[in-house]
Structure 1
Amino acid sequence: MAQKRPTPSAEAGEDVTGVKRARKGFSVGSANLPDGTHRRKVQKIKQDLIRKAKVKKSYNKLKEREQADAVKTSTFDQAPLVDGPASTELHPERQAMLDEPETAPAEQVPVTSHSRQRRPPRPKPTPFKKEAQLAQQRKEERERRQKEIEEANRQRQAKIEERERFRKVMAKARSGGKDGKRKLGLESKVLLEKVQRMMAE
């Protein structure tokens, strides 16, 4: 069997086993991607992987440190509790509670099965609650606009009728009476109404 060819570095007399080759790192996706959405997506994935690896590494270090601390402060190292003779004295809060006068029986409510009240049932969740509210608001807005339009039409119609009445009365007053003169009394009433309306506005 033929001998393997020596590498160029071995020929130069370098020690091949002692030299550490630089690590390449890791790659995600294709190496020759054009600039654009796909490349940015691949770069984002790579950055996420690096960040997760760093978090995992720091978590492992922290976990090891806590385990080492836990081994140092073991429960066996603590001094055992000394059980002394039990005292017959009551705790001050308990003693104060016992010293309080008893409440009147009228204040105490007997506990029966009926005294426990049931909570009111929770309202059923409506899947389109927001949409229903928006629809209700739109409906109210539409009704309000319709009322405004109807009111404006009614006022317009009233003004038209008033104008027509005014025109007829003025035409009648100007036509003259039996002697052919203008009817000033009739005309003055209509003009007075018109002036009063103008002053009110």
Structure 2
Amino acid sequence: MASENSKSANQVDSTPKKRRPGFKIGPDNLPDGTYRRKVVKIKKELIRKAKIKKSYAKIKASESISLATTNTLTSSLKNLPSQELHPERQAMLNTPDEEITSTNKQEQFPQRRHRSKRPSYFEKEQAFAEKKKAEKEAQREEFKRRAKERAEKLEDRKRFRKAMAKARIPGKNGQRKLGRESVVLLEKIKKNFEGKKIT
């Protein structure tokens, strides 16, 4: 029985350990771009922090070993006469904590007031879309204006034809009505000479 347990233990040790793939931040299928770079940056930052913690733990372990030696040094230092504090430092230590914290907060974070604008990742696309929208709106307005002009011209032609048809109808004595016809012809002449300057 004991030999079977030792064999199974040896078999477990002989199988190679699976290599762990490390930790993941964010999805694997991100395309190269803003979000991918951000994920990579976060991962690097986490690795850096872990290394700092590890080195701190090593230093702390070595400090605990040398702590015994420092205890003897501190006891010898206590026997030495203490030095007097500088008057400004003494005044700072004597002031209440509330006054210090209120002034420190203002001095400590001056950059909080001047926050820069967050980068907009789609500014170019947004500007392009707005430009396209403005162009479409201008085209729509132009189309409406032309349609209105066309309708006005058609209406004018219709009115002119009607007026000329009425004027050409002979009167009671069979002659044309020159008064009506002259008004219509005068309007036609005015329209022809509107764009032209007479010198």
TM-score range, shorter chain: 0.3 to 0.5
Bigger radius of gyration = 1
